[in-house]
Structure 1
Amino acid sequence: MSTNEASELRQFDFWLGEWDLTWGDDGRGTNVITAVLDNRVIKEEFDGTLSTPLQGLSVSTYNTQLGKWQQTWVDNQGSYLDFV
């Protein structure tokens, strides 16, 4: 792994951890963010069931060929989204 790649993989360290979320007047949920697969992938587990039936999962990784982060999101409502 190059020094540049190692530093790119650390860009989302601030996001790691367990988060209590609120939105709008009564939206509540949790988000658990972990580094997995030798710290090359960021896994997000969202649970909004405190106020909505939404649950979701995302994986994010740094694409060395593109020089950009990519994220894929799926949820229990049938969504599948790719972000670059």
Structure 2
Amino acid sequence: MKKLIVILFMTYGTIAFSQKDACVCCSDAYHSFDFWVGTWTVTDSNGNLVGKNTIEKVEGGCALRERWISSNGKSTGTSLNFYNGENEQWEQLWIDNSGGHLKLSGNRKGNQMILSSEGKSTPEDQIVKNRITWTLNDNGTVRQQWEVLEEGQVVTVLFDGLYHKIE
């Protein structure tokens, strides 16, 4: 009899649990980066084509996967982006074909998603961070700007691209 009760609980308890939590990633916070979803051509600040990027919702809408390829096909990269409900922030892990990686976190503010890395000390005891901002423009394009900050001040812009949706 105990086995029957355990089996019934495991069967119906699992069904009830999965139905109850069927849409754990449906709150507004999980959709705040949806403006980046799509297939895009990306141009630099001079209008030159620099690559193509595809961002898709994955894992039942709980994450975004990015697939980047430069216009010459030599540079590729992938990121996984997700809303972490525990710390109430978006997180990104970027990995590219040169062995580079970057971990970012942050949130949407107005029409911008702003993600930053943790600070690292330089040999000169300066604190350096990466900050990437995606801005949803009124015409549907998205501007991505990657800045390097020292002691909170922008010292370099590593990338300034404009995304044009093709799908």
Q: Distance in 1 between matches of 2:53 and 2:27?
A: 25
Q: Could you say what secondary structure the match of 2:82 adopts?
A: strand
Aligned position for 1:38: 60
> Which one has the largest radius of gyration?
2
CA contact (8 A) 1:27 1:52 kept: no
Quote the sequence identity (%): 28
Does 2:80 match 1:62? no
Aligned position for 2:93: 72
Q: How does 1:9-28 map to 2 (within 5 A)?
A: 9-23=30-44, 26-28=48-50
Q: Could you say what secondary structure the match of 2:87 adopts?
A: coil
C-alpha root-mean-square deviation of aligned residues, in Å? 2.2
Distance 1:31 1:19, change over 3 A: same
Does 2:24 match 1:6? no
TM-score, normalization by structure 2: 0.45
**Larger RCO of the pair (alpha carbons < 8 Å, separation 6+):** 1
Structure 2, unaligned runs of 5 or more: 1-20, 106-167
Query: What amino acid maps onto 2:63 in structure 1?
Result: V
Q: Could you say what secondary structure the match of 2:86 adopts?
A: coil
TM-score, normalization by structure 1: 0.86
Q: Distance in 1 between matches of 2:73 and 2:58?
A: 27
Moved over 4 A (4+): 24-27
